Amino acid sequence: MGTIDFAPLWITLKTGIVASVFSFFIGIAFAELVINTKGRVRAFWDGLLTLPMVLPPTVAGYILLRIFSTRRPFGSFLSNSMGIQVVHTWLGCVVAATIIALPLMYRNARAAFEQIDENVIYAARTLGISEWKVFWKIRLPMAKPGIISGVTLAFARAIGEYGATSMLAGNIAGKTSTISQQIAMVIQSGDYATAGFWCIVIIAISFACLVSINMICGKSKGIKRKRKNNVAHSKNKKTVG
Amino acid sequence: MSLIVKIKKQLDNFMLSVDMELTDEIVSVIGMSGSGKSMTLKCIAGIETPDTGFISLNDRVLYDSKNRINLHPGKRRVGYLFQDYALFPTMTVMENICIAMGHRDEKKVKVWLKRYGLDGMADTYPDHLSGGQRQRVAMLRMLAAKPECILLDEPFSALDEHVKRSMESELMEMLSDFHNPVIFVSHNRDEVYRLAERIGSIESGMLSAVRDKKDFFMRPMSVEQALLVGCNNISQVKWQDKHHVLAVEWDSVFEVTDEQIEQLAMDTDNISHIGVFPQDIIISASKAKSVLAYNNKNIIRIKDYKIVEELKTWEVSCELNNDSTIYANLPKHTEANMLSKNINDELYIKKFYLLG
């Protein structure tokens, strides 16, 4: 096994954190967009945003490579005009992990927003509370448990990303070599001990994430219970008025 | 102080059509489930948009389809009390009220909380409040936004009877300082009678003329209103001449007085039904002379009857020869021997209402 270089751990954690921050904002923004659209447009966006969850990561990686390659219009624009290189850089890790983790964030956020009793939002509007405040002070706090589990799942997914990352960012030691890529590499050279060590690290982090989701959601029971009430009430409403 | 609502909106099953004017008074809209009551309130509050029409509050135009005016709900100054109160669950009582004030004036809010028995509840979350406390917080939150009109959407319908009465009086107390229009929507006639000054009924989206509550309950004018106020014996009619109608289902002739015709708000041609309150049916144990004296008019012949004991009355359900049923009430103090004996096969109708 020899001495272990911990660079892959830091790269993985950094990638995971930045990717979950990105998917947090992008996921919420798209959740809002989809909630406010109807019919075919809604189905289109929902399908597109969920696609990375079901596609083979290599397919996502291929598409990202085609978009960000410096030989293609968008990639060359980024690199020439803005000095941003995505392919074979750490940024590539982040982009790949964000895209793959996004559906988890988006779907959780959407479900959390959709569960909010619409009367609460109507009440807020009739009280003259601005849309900005309605979002930040009422809807977001009410959707908090769902959003937290979305971010945590997105983080857990992002740190385990392999397929798209290896295609877009490659496996450059100390730069883009994440734990999952490291595992694949050391196994090829027959170093099962090191591979096993990294596997345990990944399992430990992912498991900790899943356990913490449960604990956080347990704590905010109050909000969850309240929501169930609201659902019951809104059902009442339909039958009564 | 006035609220004018003249709107139309096409809904899934019917056309909502509301035309009402309020001053600073409590007007109630009574109607069955899904009759368009809540939709009316939502249109006034700006949560839903009518197809055409006009809404104004104290000379401010809230909605005008002709001039393409449609004020955002937040700019209308219309308070809306939801059935489930719709408090913000992630905020304390204090925060719930302050966010509606637009600024944080804790001192003022504490005075209000004290006044309405919510002392020491400032930092409590809505989850930990009782139903009554929630209602008071929701009212305070609504009043904190300084509305010029209040809409109450079935605030008591999910409550037990004994809780309901105390919450009703609390609500009325809080509204006693509010000198602006209030619309109270409900499907419960007792509630409506206690709280409102004037009442309109709504059926399949059509709002009737708003009338004084006594008049509304004593003198139903349409089949829907009759059913809503408990006048539940209804029959179709055919005019025989100017003063006589034939109740088709009951196969009997009723005499219409000039006074009744004068009081009608519509043409006699539009009268399609008559209605009789159960308490206006006289049942006698024998062929009393007074009944016979009525010359076979306003009398219904029955084939069979059944007596059921209700809480406050005996309910007599009478079967007619053509199998239709008429319900009559006998007061509880009716002697038992009369109930046991065979009652006369002729019912005398003391009072009936012409319905359009």
* pLDDT tens, residue by residue, A17-69: 999 999 999 999 999 999 988 889 999 999 999 999 999 999 999 999 999 98
Q: Is residue B239 part of a domain?
A: no
Query: Residue A96: its pLDDT value, please?
Result: 94
Same domain, B110 and B195: yes
Q: Distance from A210 to chain B by nearest Cα, in Å?
A: 24
Q: Which of A57, A27, A82 is nearest to A178 (CA)?
A: A57
B338, two tokens? 């009369």
Identity at B203, one-letter amino acid code: E
pLDDT for B244 beyond 60: yes
The band of B224, judged by pLDDT with boundaries at 50, 70 and 90, is confident
The band of B82, judged by pLDDT with boundaries at 50, 70 and 90, is very high
pTM (two decimals) = 0.78
Q: Is residue B232 part of a domain?
A: no
Number of other CB atoms surrounding residue A162 within 10 Å: 18
Same domain, B69 and B205: yes
Convert the pLDDT of each residue in B17-64 to its tens digit.
999 999 989 999 998 888 899 999 999 999 999 999 999 999 899 999
Q: Is residue B233 part of a domain?
A: no
Same domain, B125 and B257: no
Give the mean pLDDT of chain B: 87
Task: Say yes or no for a CB contact (<8 Å) between A223 and B80.
Answer: no
**What residues have CB less than 8 Å from B292, skipping those under 6 apart?**
none
* From A99-103, B208-212, B250-254, B280-284, the region with the lowest mean pLDDT: B280-284
Instruction: Taking residues B134-142, report their average pLDDT.
Output: 92
Task: Say yes or no for a CB contact (<8 Å) between B80 and A239.
Answer: no
Q: Is residue B192 part of a domain?
A: yes
**Which of B224, B259, B290 is at the close of a domain?**
B224
Query: Residue B208: its pLDDT value, please?
Result: 86
Same domain, B51 and B127: yes
Query: Residue B164: its pLDDT value, please?
Result: 85
Same domain, B322 and B351: yes
Number of other CB atoms surrounding residue B314 within 10 Å: 19
The band of B240, judged by pLDDT with boundaries at 50, 70 and 90, is confident
Q: Is B53 left (phi over 0), alpha (psi -120 to 50) or beta?
A: left
Same domain, B190 and B220: yes
Instruction: Specify whether the CB–CB gap between B19 and B50 falls below 8 A.
Output: no
Q: Chain B residue with minimal CA distance to A121?
A: B86
Domain A7-235 sits in CATH 3.10.310.30: no
Three-state DSSP at B200 gives: strand
Q: Give me the phi and psi of B12, to 5 degrees please.
A: -55, -50
Q: Is residue B264 part of a domain?
A: yes
Residue of higher predicted confidence among B40 and B209: B40
Strand partners, B247: B237, B252
Sheet containing B325-331, strands listed edge to edge, beginning at the edge strand earlier in sequence: B304-309, B313-319, B325-331
Same domain, B55 and B165: yes
Instruction: Taking residues B287-298, report their average pLDDT.
Output: 60
pLDDT for B124 beyond 50: yes
**Which of B224, B252, B269 is at the close of a domain?**
B224
**Partner residue facing B90 (CB), from A125, A141, A229:** A141
Same domain, B265 and B116: no
**CA dihedral sign, ordered A222, A228, A230, A232:** negative
Strand partners, B237: B247
User: Rounded to 5 degrees, what angle do the CA atoms B13, B83, B132 make?
Assistant: 165
Counting one residue from A and one from B, how many pairs have CB atoms under 8 Å apart? Answer: 105
From CA A198, how far away is CA A178, in angstroms rounded? 10
From CA B155, how far away is CA B168, in angstroms rounded? 9
**Partner residue facing A122 (CB), from B47, B79, B102:** B47
Query: Residue A98: its pLDDT value, please?
Result: 95
Residue of higher predicted confidence among B288 and B182: B182
Interface of B with A (CB under 8 A): 33-34, 37-38, 42, 45-47, 72-80, 82-84, 86-91, 99-100, 102, 125-127, 141-142, 145, 153-154, 157-158, 185, 187
Q: Mean pLDDT in runs of 10 for chain A (241 residues)?
A: 80 94 95 90 93 92 90 85 87 94 95 93 93 92 92 92 90 88 91 92 92 76 44 40 34
Q: Is residue B68 part of a domain?
A: yes
Same domain, B36 and B183: yes
Question: How many percent of chain B have pLDDT more than 70?
Answer: 94
pLDDT for B296 beyond 80: no
Q: Give me the phi and psi of B287, to 5 degrees please.
A: -70, 85
Residue range of the domain that includes B297: 244-355
**Which of B190, B224, B258 is at the close of a domain?**
B224
Counting the structural domains of chain B, the total is 2
Same domain, B38 and B181: yes
Instruction: Taking residues B323-348, report their average pLDDT.
Output: 75
Q: Give me the phi and psi of B163, to 5 degrees please.
A: -70, -40
**CATH (domain of B18):** 3.40.50.300
Instruction: Taking residues B85-89, report their average pLDDT.
Output: 93
**CATH (domain of B290):** 2.40.50.140
Q: Give me the phi and psi of B187, to 5 degrees please.
A: -115, 5
Same domain, B195 and B332: no
Query: Residue B341: its pLDDT value, please?
Result: 63
Residue of higher predicted confidence among B341 and B74: B74
Same domain, B194 and B340: no
